[in-house]
Amino acid sequence: MTNQETVFSKIIRREIPADIVYEDELVLAFKDIAPQAPVHIVLIPKKPIPKLADATPEDHALMGHLLLKVKQIADEAGLDNGFRVVINNGEDGGQTVYHLHIHILGGRPMQWPPG
């Protein structure tokens, strides 16, 4: 197990189950195990970048791919009335799983600012 090994790596390798909603060669999206909204999907790169601040210029195309997949996944989840995208980065950002991920939340109106 490397220091980049997380539960999300296990989901990528199908070692633990997840409700996968999208997959391609670069990214995976699955339903959050503790949903904070009627729709709560976690979108991850398969490359185990621990957090957003660890992405490098080498990840430029991957980061673009990841962001562009958000719309497709939100559309397929029926989030026609809008949605929220969240990336928690590091301790103060509230990150708990150190494998970069984008939360896609929808199906209810969101509050701003978040707590």
Active-site residues: which are they? 101
- Backbone φ, ψ for residue 44 (5° rounding): -130, 150
Asked if 29 contacts 42 with a C-beta cutoff of 8 angstroms, the reply is yes
- Binding residue for ligand 5GP, selected from 5, 23, 24, 33, defined by CB under 6 A: 33
Give whichever of 1 and 61 is closer to ligand 5GP, judged by the CB atom: 1
Would you tell me how many other CB atoms lie within 10 Å of the CB of residue 5?
A: 12
- Does 43 interact with ligand 5GP (rule: CB under 6 A)? no
- Binding residue for ligand 5GP, selected from 30, 48, 69, 73, defined by CB under 6 A: 30
Number of helices followed by number of strands (H, E) in the chain: 2, 5
Q: How many residues bind ligand 5GP (CB under 6 A)?
A: 13
Q: What single letter denotes the amino acid at residue 97? A: V
- Binding residue for ligand 5GP, selected from 20, 21, 26, 32, defined by CB under 6 A: 32
Q: Which residues in 58-97 contact ligand 5GP (CB under 6 A)?
A: 88, 94-97
Distances (CA, A) of 7 to 14, 52, 56, 94: 10, 17, 23, 17
Interacting residue ranges for ligand 5GP, rule: CB under 6 A: 7, 18, 30-34, 42, 88, 94-97
